[in-house]
Structure 1
Amino acid sequence: MYYGDPTPEQLSAWRSSLDAFLSAIHRVGEPYPVLAEYPIFDLERADFLVVGRRRAMVVECKGWSNPKRVNDYSVEVDGGLSADPCYQLKNYVNKLRYFHSAASKLEFDGVVYTYRTHAYHDDCRVVSDSEELAACLGGLGEPGGDEEVRELLEGRMVINDSLVKLVEKHKNQLIRGAAKILLDEGYGLSSEQLEVVERVLGSLAKREKKTYLVRGVSGSGKTLVALTLLLEAVSRGYKALLGYKNNRLLNTLRTALRTSVKGVDPSALIVFYSTGPQAGFRGLGEQNFPADKYGEIDLAIYDEAQRMTEDVIELSSRRANVTVYFYDDQQLLVGNEAGTRTNFLKYLEHPQEITLSAPFRAPKSYVDSLRSLLEGGSFTPGDYDFEVFDDILSMLDALRGKANSGAKVALICAFTESDGDRKNPKSPKNLRIGYPLQSGFDLYKGLNLEVRWLMDEKNQYPKYWMGALDPLEYCASVYGAQGLEADYVGVVWGRDLILREEGWTVNPEVITDTVGGKHSLKTIAKQDTQKAVELLKNRYYVMLSRGIRGTYVFFEDPETLHQIRRRQLQPKP
Structure 2
Amino acid sequence: MLIYTADKRRFVEHVQHNQIEDRILAGMLGAGKGKPSPNEITSWRNSMQYMENVLSASGIPDDAGVAIEYMIPQTSKRVDFILTGRNDDGRDTAVIVELKQWEQVEATEKDAIVRTFVGGKEREVTHPSYQAWSYAALLEDYNETVQTDGIGLHPCAYLHNSVSGAISDARYHEHLERAPAFLKADAEKLARFLGQHVRKGDTNDILYRVEHGRIRPSKSLADHLASLLQGNAEFVMVDDQKLVFESALELSDIAEGHSKQVLIVEGGPGTGKSVVAVNLLGELTRREKVAQYVTRNAAPRAVYEARLTGTMKKSRISNLFRSSGAFHQTDADTFDTLLVDEAHRLNEKSGIFQNLGENQTKEIINAARTAVFFLDEDQRIHWKDTGSREEIERWAQAAGATVHYAELRSQFRCAGSDGYLAWLDQALQIRETANEDLDELDYSVEVVDSPTAMRDRIFALNVHANRARMLAGYCWDWESKKDGQAMDIRFPEHDFAMQWNLDKDGSTWMIQPDSVHQIGCIHTSQGLELDYVGVIIGPDLIVRDGKVITVPEARSKNDASIKGYKKALKEDPDAARAKADRIIKNTYRTLMSRGMKGCLIWSADAETHAYFRALIGQHTPEPQSAPAEAAPADVLPFEKMAPEEVEPFVNALPVVPIKAAAGSFSDLQTVDQNPDAFDWVMPPDFITPQPGMFIAQVVGESMNRRIANGAWCLFRAPGGGTREGKIVLVQHRDINDPDTGASFTIKRYHSEKTADPDTEWRHQRIILKPESSLPGYESIILEEDSASELVVVGEYVAQLEH
- Scaled by the length of structure 1, the TM-score of the pair is 0.81
In the TM superposition, what is the alpha-carbon distance from 1:252 to its structure 2 partner? 0.8
Shift of 1:202: 0.8
Matching residue within 513, 517, 522 for 1:478: 522
Distance 2:533 2:569 in 1: 27
CA displacement 1:99-131 (0-9 Å, x = unmatched)? 247646672512325676676643525376535
Q: Is residue 36 from structure 1 mapped to residue 68 from structure 2 by the alignment?
A: yes
Q: Counterpart of 1:309 in structure 2: which amino acid?
A: N
Distance 1:264 1:35, change over 3 A: farther
Name the SS of the counterpart of 2:266 in structure 1: strand
- Check whether the contact 2:133–2:179 (CA below 8 A) recurs between aligned residues: no
Instruction: Give the equivalent residue in structure 2 for 1:357.
Output: 409
Match in the other structure for 2:460: 401
Residue 198 of structure 2 corresponds to residue 160 of structure 1: no
Confirm whether residue 23 of structure 1 aligns to residue 49 of structure 2.
Answer: no
Give the stretch that moved more between structures: 216-225 or 352-361: 352-361
In structure 2, the residue matched to 1:368 is 422
CA distance in structure 2 between the partners assigned to 1:508 and 1:204 by the alignment: 43
2: CA distance, partners of 1:371 / 1:34: 36
8 Å contact from structure 2 (residues 337, 370) kept in 1: yes
User: Where does residue 465 of structure 1 map in the other structure?
Assistant: 510
Q: CA separation in 2, counterparts of 1:216 and 1:68?
A: 27
Q: Within 1, Cα distance between the matches of 2:114 and 2:385?
A: 40
Aligned to 1:5: 37
- 1:126 corresponds in structure 2 to 180
Shift of 1:267: 5.4
Task: Give the structure 1 partner of residue 370 of structure 2.
Answer: 322
Matched letter for residue 219 of structure 1: G
Aligned to 2:447: 388
- Whether 1:95 aligns to 2:133 is no
* Matched residue, 2:763: none
Report what 2:697 is aligned to.
Answer: none
SS at match of 2:584: helix
Which one-letter code corresponds to 1:354 in the other structure? A
State the Cα distance separating 1:27 from its structure 2 match. 1.1
Deviation at 1:197, TM superposition (A): 1.3
List gaps (5 residues or longer) in structure 1: 275-282, 435-440
C-alpha RMSD of matched pairs (Å): 3.8
SS at match of 2:586: helix
**Could you tell which deviates more after superposition, 410-419 or 500-509?**
500-509
Match of 2:153 in 1: 109
**Cα distance between partner residues in 2 of 1:315 and 1:520:** 24
Contact kept in structure 2, 1:220 and 1:357, CA below 8 Å:
yes
Q: State the alpha-carbon separation in 1 of the partners of residues 308 and 569 from structure 2.
A: 38
The aligned amino acid for 1:50 is L
Residue identity opposite 2:549 in structure 1? T
Change in CA separation of 1:263 and 1:515 when aligned onto 2, cut-off 3 Å = closer
Match of 2:334 in 1: 296
- SS of residue in 2 equivalent to 1:533: helix
Partner Cα separation in structure 2 for residue 522 and residue 491 of structure 1: 27
Distance 1:139 1:110 in 2: 8
Aligned equivalent of 1:278: none
1:66-85 matches, within 5 Å, as 70=109, 73-74=112-113, 82-85=125-128
Is the partner of 2:488 in helix, strand or coil?
strand
Higher Cα radius of gyration: 2
Contact persistence 2:543–2:608 (CA under 8 A): yes
- Aligned pair in 2 of structure 1 residues 260, 384: CA closer, same or farther (>3 Å)? closer
- Residues 75 and 563 of structure 1, relative CA distance in 2, 3 Å threshold: closer
2:292 maps to 241
Cα–Cα, structure 1 residues 138 and 451, in superposed 2: closer, same or farther, change >3 Å?
Answer: farther
Letter matched to residue 383 of structure 1: D
Amino acid at match of 1:211: V
Q: Residues 471-517 of structure 1: CA distance to partner in whole angstroms, max 9, x if unpaired?
A: 43122111111111111111111122111126222344542154548
Distance 1:66 1:489, change over 3 A: closer
Paired letter, 1:55? T
1:117-174 per-residue CA deviation (whole Å, 9 max, x = no partner) reads 676643525376535653554534653369544555677977522221222xxx1x43
CA contact (8 A) 1:17 1:61 kept: no
Query: Which residue pairs with 1:277 in the alignment?
Result: none
Partner amino acid, structure 1, of 2:154: G
Does the 8 Å CA contact 1:64/1:114 hold for their aligned counterparts?
no
Deviation at 1:72, TM superposition (A): 5.4
Distance 1:461 1:142, change over 3 A: farther
How many residues matched? 533
CA shift, 1:270, in A, is 0.8
Q: Provide the residue aligned with 2:469 in structure 1.
A: 410
Asked if 1 retains the 8 angstrom alpha-carbon contact of 2:252 and 2:336, the reply is yes
- Of 21-30 and 137-146, more deviation after overlay is shown by 137-146
Does the CA-based 8 Å contact 1:230-1:240 persist in structure 2? yes
Aligned to 2:345: 307
Alignment-derived partner of residue 489 in structure 1:
533
Mapped to 2, the partners of 1:246 and 1:518 lie a distance apart of: 16
CA distance in 2, matches of 1:264, 1:132: 54
Are 2:267 and 2:273, in contact at CA under 8 Å, matched by a contact in 1? yes
Deviations 1:353-384 (A, max 9, x none): 21212322121011111111000763426331
The question of whether the paired residues in 1 share the 8 Å contact of 2:54 and 2:191 is answered with no
Q: Deviations over 1:206-235 (max 9, x none)?
A: 224211111111111111111111111111
Larger RCO, structures 1/2 (Cα 8 Å, 6+ apart) = 1
1:204 equivalent in alignment to 2:249: no
The 10-residue stretch of structure 1 (237-246 or 341-350) with the greater mean CA deviation from structure 2: 341-350
2:282 is paired with a residue whose SS is: helix
Distance in 2, matches of 1:472 and 1:72, equals 43
- Write the distance in 2 (CA, Å) between the matches of 1:338 and 1:300: 18
Kept after mapping to 2: 8 A contact 1:395/1:552: yes
* Displacement after TM superposition at 1:453 (Å): 2.0
Looking at structure 1, the residues matched to 153 and 315 of structure 2 have their Cα atoms a distance apart, in angstroms, of 36
For residues 264 and 80 of structure 1, what CA distance do their matches in structure 2 show?
A: 42
Aligned partners of 1:71, 1:176: CA distance in 2, in Å? 22
Measure, in 1, the Cα distance between the counterparts of 2:214 and 2:311: 38
Q: 1 CA distance for matches of 2:584 and 2:564?
A: 12
Corresponding residue of 2:555: 511
Q: Give the Cα–Cα distance (whole angstroms) in 2 for the partners of residues 38 and 18 of structure 1.
A: 18
Q: Is the 8 A contact 1:253 1:267 kept in 2?
A: no
| Equivalent residue letter for 2:541 | L
Aligned to 2:379: 331
Is 1:47–2:75 an aligned residue pair? Answer: no
Higher helix proportion, which one?
1
The residue matched to 2:279 in structure 1 has which SS? helix
Q: Assess, with a 3 A threshold, how the Cα gap between structure 1 residues 524 and 119 changes in structure 2: closer, same or farther.
A: closer
Deviates more, 1:405-414 or 1:361-370: 405-414
Quote the offset at 1:406 in angstroms: 4.5
Aligned to 2:630: none
| Corresponding position of 1:218 | 269
> How big is each residue's C-alpha offset from its partner over 1:425-451, in whole Å with a ceiling of 9 and x where there is no partner?
7152xx3344xxxxxx6445x44x544
Q: Which residue of 2 aligns with 1:438?
A: none
Per-residue deviation at 1:48?
1.9
Match of 1:60 among 91, 98, 106: 98
1:342 corresponds to which of 390, 394, 405: 390
Q: Is the 8 A contact 1:508 1:522 kept in 2?
A: no
Does the aligned pair in 1 maintain the 2:263–2:372 contact within 8 Å?
Answer: yes
The SS at the match of 1:338 is coil
Amino acid of the residue matched to residue 405 of structure 2?
E
Cα deviation, residue 325, structure 1: 0.7
Q: Separation in 2 of the partners of 1:516 and 1:343?
A: 23
Q: CA deviation at 1:176?
A: 4.6
Distance 1:453 1:239 in 2: 35
- Tell me which residue corresponds to 1:231: 282
Encode CA deviations 1:15-59: one digit per residue, 9 max, x unaligned. 478626742564133132222343445544333211237432212
